[in-house]
Amino acid sequence: MRYKLLGSSGLRVAEVALGTMTFGETWGWGADKATSQAIFDTYADAGGNFIDTANIYTDGVSEEFVGEFIANDRDYFVVATKYSLTDIRSQSSNPNHGGNNRKNMMHTVEGSLRRMNTDYIDLLWLHAWDFTTPVEEVLRGMDDLVRQGKVLYIGFSDTPAWVISRAVTLAEQRGWIRPAAVQLPYSLVRRDPERELLPMARALDLAVTPWGTLGGGVLTGKYTSGGSEPTRYSADDVNPADLAAAEAVGRIAEAIGASPSQVAINWIRQQPGILIPIIGARKVEQITDNLGALDFELTAEQMQELNSLSDFSLGFPRSFLESDNVRSLIFGQMYDRIDNHRA
C-alpha cells in the first residue's frame, strides 16, 4: 500500500479507501459481522487506513461495526463518515432529521460518535447537496465541529461543482476549515465528472474519492458471456454500451493476467489528479481481488483503448472551448507553441 495526501491537507491516506456500505445485513443484503471483520482485516493487513462509512449505512450498523474494528488502534485509521441523509423507514416526524442544515449536522455527528464509540471523526462528508441550505451555514457548522475537536477534516459528496468551488472560496476568505476532498460516482461507464467536477478538483487541489468504480458490477464481467457470478439481473437489463465496455475490459484483463475489476479500478487510479477509489466487498475474496489492482499499472496504450470505449462527450462549454477552431482564435499564431496544461 502506498499513501496520498488528502488534497491540500497534510493527512496521509491509503491509495484506495475501504467502503463499508456492505457491513451489516439490515438492508437485506451485505456481510454479517464475522465476514465484515475479515474484509476489514484483509484491507488493514494490506496497509489500508482509510475507512469510508455513513450514518445511514445499514441503519447505523456499519458505523457500529467500524467502531468495534478500529477500537484497538483508533489513531492509525482515518475514518470518514457522512451526514445529510436520513433513513426514510424510520418514519421520523422531525422535519430536521435530514438535509444539510446545521441542526441535522450536529444531531448526526453526535449519533455517529456514539455508534463508533470515538471522540472524533477524521473526515466529515456532506453526503448530498440539498439545494436548500446556504453553503455559509454548512461551512460554519463544520468549522465549529473542527474547533470543538469532534471533526478534523471536511469534504463534499455528491454536490455540484459550483457549490464546492464557492465553499472553497468562502472558507479561504473567512478563515473557516477548507474542504479537502470530494466524493462522486465515477467509472469507465459513468464519466460525467470529467466535465466539471474532476477539473475543479485538480484546480483547487481537492482529493477525489470515487464510488461506483465497477459500474454497478457491470465491469466485473458478471453480466458478460464469460461471467460466472450469480446476478440479480440478466444481461438484457444492462445498457448494451456498458456490456461492450465490460467485454473490452475483460479482454485486456485476460491479456495481462489480471481480473476485470482490477483493470477497472486502475483505469480510475491512473487518471490525472488525486484519485482514491473506494473499494467495497461482501466477500473476502472480492476485497482481496480488488487490492490486487495495487500490484500493476495499465500501459498508455491500454488506457487509450479503455478511453475510446465510450461515446463520451465533454459537452458545452468544454467541447466548444477546447476545439481547435476556438483555441486557435484564443491563442492566434501561438496556438501550436503553447503548452496549455490547464485544459
Buried b (16+ CB within 10 A) or exposed e, 226-250: ebeeeeeeebeebeeebbebbbbbb
290 burial type by CB count under 10 A (0-12 exposed, 13-18 middle, 19+ buried): buried
Helices 284-291 and 33-45, axial angle in degrees (round to 10): 20
Q: Which three cell numbers stand for residue 115?
A: 455508534
Task: Based on the residue annotation, tell me whether 233 is a catalytic residue of this protein.
Answer: no
By the 8 A CB rule, do 39 and 281 touch?
yes
Q: What is the DSSP letter of 5?
A: E
Q: How far apart (Å, rounded) are the C-alpha atoms in residues 181 and 193?
A: 14
Q: Which three cell numbers stand for residue 250?
A: 475483460
Buried b (16+ CB within 10 A) or exposed e, 129-160: bbeebebeebbbbbbbbbeeebbbbbbbbbbe
Q: Where do the H-state alpha helices sit in 188-239?
A: 197-203
- Of the residues 57, 83, 153, 223, which is catalytic? 57
Lateral strand order in the sheet of 151-157: 207-211, 181-185, 151-157, 121-126, 78-83, 50-52, 17-19, 278-279
Intra-chain end-to-end CA distance of the chain, in Å:
31
Per 3-state DSSP, the chain is made up of helix, strand and coil in percentages (nearest 5) of 45, 15, 40
Buried b (16+ CB within 10 A) or exposed e, 34-49: ebbbebbebbbebebb
Which residues are marked as active site?
57
